[in-house]
Chain A
Amino acid sequence: AEVEETLKRIQAHKGVIATIVINAEGIPIRTTLDNSTTVQYAGLLHQLTMKARSTVRDIDPQNDLTFLRIRSKKHEIMVAPDKEYLLIVIQNPCE
């Protein structure tokens, strides 16, 4: 319902290359990319998110990671982590 609409709007944005939702085990639930790339992104970003979360919590265990953004030359990868899932959006912010 509301979720579907928002997801569709995000996907339809200009500059958004891909939207991926993966569950806690690393399996993609929703994706707009082909399978192999999705799995690659899923695996790599999962590990990175875990590492980032571990870093944040090591410094203060009461803190937690809420959002992760990776800005590269070509795109920006935005990850919203949660205990049960991972929401990944890849955007090309300049065009």
Chain B
Amino acid sequence: LQVFDDVGKDVTPRPLFRSDPNNVVPRQGKLLASSAYFGARGSGFLSSFSMHQTSGVNASLGSFSRSRLLTSYNFSDVQVRQQEIKEELTKADLDRRVDIYLTETETIWILDMPSVVVSVESEDAGRVLERNRIYVDICKNRPGNDRFVEKMMQTVNGAAKNKEVQCDKIIMEDKGMMVTSWDLYDSFNVSEIEPTSKAEGSRATTGKCSKSHTTKELDQTMSVSSDRGSTTSIMISESAILARNHKEEECHSEAILTSENFQQDLFFMERILMENIFQPKLAAYRQFPVLIDPDVTSDTSGTVAAVKAKQEEHNKEKKDKEEQKDAFIDPSTLSVLNKTPEEIVPPRLERLWSYVCDLTNGHSVSSMAWSKVNPDLLAVGYGAFDFKEQKKGLACCWSLKNPMWPERIFQCEHAVTALDFSMASPNLLAVGMYNGCVAIYNVRSCNDAALLDSSESSNKHTGPVWQLRWVEQDRDATEDGKKERLICISADGRITEWLIQKRLDCTDLMKIKRTESEKKKLPGEKERKSEALISQQAPGMCFDFHPKDTNFYLAGTEEGHIHQCSCSCNEQFLETYRGHKGPVYKVAWNPFSTDMFLSCSADWSIILWHRDSQTPILSFSSTTACVHDIMWSPKSAFIFAAANESRVEIWDLSVSTLNPVISCFASPRVKFTSVLFAENTDCLLVGDSQGEVSVFELQNLAAPNSNTV
């Protein structure tokens, strides 16, 4: 037999002995024993075993003798089987069917204890009984018989000797572990290669150790000392930790501080802090009953003072209101949260909080818009209206969860004058700027850069974009689904629709031509000679699409006219409404009774129109200040809000058409510039020229009983 390894070297194990043919003496008895050993291995391998493999398998002398005997026995066989031995075992041999013959060997007696019990029916029974009887007789004769003598002997006692042995001290250690189910889970999941690593843990289920977190520190080698569950050892282990290399720590701490998890945790922490601070206000926003912490003892004076301050603020407003239908409420009976039903409490605005931060201080709020998808996300554009005060603009997205720092800050080159969220892709925010540029930002990314910018477009506006909106347009019946378009109006007199492709490009919807006013001719405008006009177009200030039929829209101009136009016809206006004497800053259709709309202008008045009549229906003016912004309430057909320069007014047409129902004054240097109603709650957002967006809760407004005028 020859064995080759992979390389081809001959690694046949050499036999440890040479069989001596002189010693061939077949001894049958012992042979059988050895054959019993090898019998099960198969006859084909017997010879090979005898020659080579036994040297590897059995290294003892005993087996040597056995193998020798086997050799001697098989010597004759060896001759016969010589061919078989010489056959090389190939791989195919492994698959070959090998016949194994099992023979039963002779019984091997290992222990033989013959029984002492003899059957009565056996042949020897008589003899045994006889012997038993004789024995009993002898026992009876024993006591007085001479033949039995008791005698004592002394044996030699050897001298006792002490021998001492010394061995190493066996160090005993106690180790206890607390086993928790997550521990097992972790280990099975993480180290599936070593499933026995937790065997030691499962043994100690008595829970001797009190610090379960040591199992987590298995990778640190200090776990042994900290297993003793006493507080002193905890201190020791901690000092041991502190004594480790400090160099490692520095790298680690940097890594920790810049890790993503850390940033996220900071983010959440800030939110939670905000929640703590603003919880009562936010609850009021959501119209939950506000809870007062009963445990707060040291600060009750503080809260009471706050309550008093609010009362004073309200009182000041009330004193300034000259026109008042309801009784003047004594300030001492005003309690902020509990209103007794007997008093008639006038509706008022309660200031909840304001979105302001260092960045926005000093910028004037120009426009605000809610996100279409998330009613708690607010986008605010900052930029001055006047030409003189131009600085860099800002657009911020604020979340309800953090009123002290905006979620997204987009810096813009020019003042932001208008913005709107898209409905179809709610992460897009379109921003219109003072230089006529329109930019689209992706709110999802924190990136400051605009997604798309219209500065390269050839058709871009040359005047400030005063308003822009995403409008869902119902196309013809052939095209299903609503398409959304971005429409802007700007001071260069064009209403444009922007297409979002690779670059922002626009097409004109309408050019606003100057129209003659019937009453008087404005000096400086040479209208008689139409060619000598500086520009044929009147700057547009605002627009609003009809809520039901998006083909029609209104456009307000700087001349004071309001034009009703249609998307299908871009040459001519359908109607013109004249009534304002100054630039129209805002027009708004009534969301409920859709034939009425409202417009506000710099001529200190707000006018309510009906779409079919050319003359105003109602006109509201309360102060000598230009009205910057108006908005209908989304809840009632009669209520709208207006931002004058110095105050915010809420008008309720069902209550009074002469006076605002609520009027809220601003601090002296601050002018209110924009208003926005909240969709999901009774709150009003007011932006002012200092960059603050204050959130006011409308309280006690009469509920609308009908929604049509």
Contact = CB atoms under 8 A, between A and B. Distances in A.
A16 interface: yes
A53 B298 CA distance: 33
A3 interface: yes
Contacts of A9: 270, 404-405
A87 B267 CA distance: 11
A87 B269 contact: yes
A73 B142 CA distance: 99
A41 interface: no
Interface in A46-95: 47, 50-51, 54, 57-58, 61-62, 67, 69, 73-74, 76, 78, 80, 82, 84-85, 87, 89, 91, 93-95
Contacts of B276: 15, 76, 91, 93
B241 A25 contact: yes
A80 B269 contact: yes
B269 A94 contact: no
B181 A82 contact: no
Per DSSP, are chain A's interface residues mostly helix, strand or loop, or mixed? mixed
B132 interface: no
A34 interface: no
A61 B298 contact: no
Contacts of B303: 94
A93 B277 contact: yes
Contact of A3 (B212, B238, B258, B268): B258
B262 A3 contact: yes
A80 B241 contact: no
Nearest to B258: A3
A29 interface: yes
Interface range on chain A (Cβ under 8 Å from partner): 35 or more
B299 A95 contact: yes
Contact of A87 (B184, B249, B266, B293): B266
B249 A54 contact: no
A94 B296 contact: yes
Nearest to A56: B182
Given A21-B256, A61-B186, A2 B181 contact: no
Contacts, number: 111
B297 interface: yes
Contacts of A13: 273, 277, 404
A23 to B, nearest CB: 6
B265 A54 contact: no
Residue of B211, B244, B252, B279 with most partner-chain A CB within 10 A: B252
Given A23-B256, A84-B256, A10 B273 contact: yes
A17 to B, nearest CB: 11
A94 B295 CA distance: 11
B263 A2 contact: yes
Interface in A4-44: 6-7, 9-10, 13-16, 21, 23, 25-27, 29-30, 43
B109 interface: no
Nearest to A89: B269
B267 A6 contact: yes
A80 B269 CA distance: 8
Interface string B241-259: 1101000010011011111
Contacts of B263: 2-3, 6
Given A73-B295, A85-B256, A94 B302 contact: yes
B265 A73 contact: no
A24 B241 CA distance: 11
Contacts of B241: 25-27
Contacts of A89: 269, 273
Contact of B212 (A16, A30, A54, A84): A54
18 contacts: A6-B267, A9-B404, A10-B273, A15-B277, A21-B256, A21-B262, A26-B241, A30-B257, A54-B212, A76-B276, A82-B262, A82-B265, A84-B255, A84-B256, A87-B265, A89-B269, A91-B276, A93-B279
Interface of A: 2-3, 6-7, 9-10, 13-16, 21, 23, 25-27, 29-30, 43, 47, 50-51, 54, 57-58, 61-62, 67, 69, 73-74, 76, 78, 80, 82, 84-85, 87, 89, 91, 93-95
- What are the 5 A-B residue pairs with the smallest beta carbon separation, nearest first? A57-B182, A61-B185, A80-B265, A50-B213, A29-B253
Interface of B: 180-182, 184-186, 211-213, 216, 238, 241-242, 244, 249, 252-253, 255-259, 261-263, 265-270, 272-273, 276-277, 279, 293, 295-299, 302-303, 404-405
Given A6-B266, A78-B272, A91-B273, 5 more contacts: A9-B404, A15-B273, A23-B249, A62-B185, A80-B268
